[in-house]
């Protein structure tokens, strides 16, 4: 039973590594369209309504995964292929790296306008006032945080719960991106989506930090620095999860993350993570290499976990 899921996870991770996200008819985009339409129909300035919206959509995604999983149990090939397709669809590790590399190319060419245009693919902060240093920091922070959200977390939940875990996690994370941020419209309606995302990412974020420590030396970074900064600074971040990933990456790369972030009319002054120098465009390449090593290691762990479950 678990061999089919393990093989599907491996094939899906390989597809993401080779091809990045599907370019057309992306299932996550389809889910987002449905979620947005439902939000327009049910929105109220209410935690209760927002909770129903989040739970209903996550249950629907997980239920679809469970239904497909049950229907393919009699066919190992079908189960492998559906798991592979779902894994490919929900992973975003390679696309994250490519977006960051586009930023690095723009900054190294001195094209700040191109860098500002590239930022929305990586982070939600306002790029208009950011120069080379601010764009480099935003990119390194985004790579560190989204290594967990885009790759390690879906692989973790795929290892734990198979197809329902893959689809359910991606539903949670997509809803958080859509309605889980702070704004007058979503302060109450998006509360449950944000909390669900915090819960779903609690273990994967710490796994990401741990794998950052393990992979740092092999990618030219400092394992000692990653571990020390994770343990010292990880809890200082306002997010219960992102700070662990960002602090470990900062220590591995020898840079200092954090500071002032502008999100439209909202300004956040975040604590510093790490005690190194501010990131530069050159650090983006190192961050991408570290991110790739971390999520590939997570894929190996996910596959091994499913195989071991099949033998127990």
The 10s digit of each residue's pLDDT in 294-305 is 999 999 999 999
42 Ramachandran zone, left/alpha/beta (phi>0; psi -120 to 50) = alpha
Residue 1 has pLDDT above 60, yes or no: no
Q: Which residue has the tokens 């954090």?
A: 258
* Residue 20 predicted with pLDDT over 80: yes
Nearest to 198 by CA among 258, 255, 242: 242
Q: What is the reported pTM?
A: 0.95
Contacts of 67 (CB under 8 A, 6+ apart): none
What residues are paired with 89 via a beta bridge?
A: none
SS3 27: helix
SS3 239: coil
Sign of CA pseudo-dihedral 223, 159, 239, 26: positive
Judge whether 12 and 86 are in contact, CB under 8 Å. yes
pLDDT in tens, 134-174: 999 999 999 999 999 999 999 999 999 999 999 999 999 99
Q: Residue 70's closest CA among 5, 156, 11?
A: 5
Q: How far apart are CA 207 and CA 300, in angstroms?
A: 13
pLDDT at residue 283 is higher than 60: yes
Mean pLDDT score, 87-97: 96
Residue recorded with tokens 């762990």:
301
Q: What percent of the chain has pLDDT over 70?
A: 98
Question: pLDDT grade, residue 310 (50/70/90)?
Answer: low
**Cα distance between residue 129 and residue 106, in whole Å:** 16
Tokens of 283: 């650090």
At 261, the pLDDT band (50, 70, 90 cuts) reads confident
Dig out the tokens for 147 from the structure. Answer: 């290594």
List % helix, strand, coil for the chain (3-state, nearest 5): 75, 5, 20
Determine the length of the chain: 312
Question: String of b and e for 165-201 (b: at least 16 CB within 10 Å)?
Answer: bbbbbbbbbbbbebbbbeeeebebbbbbbbebbbebb
Residue 312: pLDDT above 50? no
């Amino acid at each position: 039973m678990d061999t089919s899921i393990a093989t599907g996870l491996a094939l899906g991770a390989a597809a993401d590594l080779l091809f990045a996200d599907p370019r057309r008819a992306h299932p996550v985009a389809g889910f987002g369209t449905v979620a947005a339409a439902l939000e327009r129909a049910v929105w109220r300035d209410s935690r209760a309504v927002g909770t129903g919206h989040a739970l209903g959509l996550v249950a629907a995604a997980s239920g679809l995964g469970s239904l497909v999983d049950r229907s393919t149990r009699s066919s190992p090939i079908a189960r492998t292929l559906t798991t592979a397709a779902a894994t490919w669809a929900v992973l975003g590790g390679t696309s994250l790296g490519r977006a960051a590399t586009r930023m690095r190319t723009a900054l190294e060419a001195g094209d700040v306008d191109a860098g500002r245009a590239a930022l929305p693919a990586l982070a939600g902060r306002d790029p208009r006032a950011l120069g080379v240093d601010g764009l480099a920091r935003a990119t390194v922070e985004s790579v560190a945080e989204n290594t967990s959200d885009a790759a390690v977390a879906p692989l973790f939940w795929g290892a734990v719960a198979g197809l329902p875990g893959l689809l359910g996690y991606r539903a949670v994370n997509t809803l958080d991106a859509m309605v889980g941020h702070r704004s007058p419209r979503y302060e109450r309606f998006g509360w449950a989506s944000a909390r669900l995302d915090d819960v779903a990412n609690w273990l994967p974020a710490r796994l990401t930090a741990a794998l950052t420590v393990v992979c740092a030396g092999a990618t030219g970074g400092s394992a000692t620095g990653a571990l020390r900064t994770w343990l010292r600074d990880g809890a200082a971040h306002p997010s219960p999860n992102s700070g662990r990933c960002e602090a470990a990456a900062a220590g591995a790369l020898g840079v200092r993350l954090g500071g002032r972030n502008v999100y439209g009319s909202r300004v956040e002054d975040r604590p510093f993570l790490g005690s190194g120098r501010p990131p530069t465009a050159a650090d983006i390449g190192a961050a991408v290499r570290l991110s790739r090593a971390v999520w590939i290691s997570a894929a190996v762990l996910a596959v091994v976990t499913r195989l071991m479950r099949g033998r127990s």
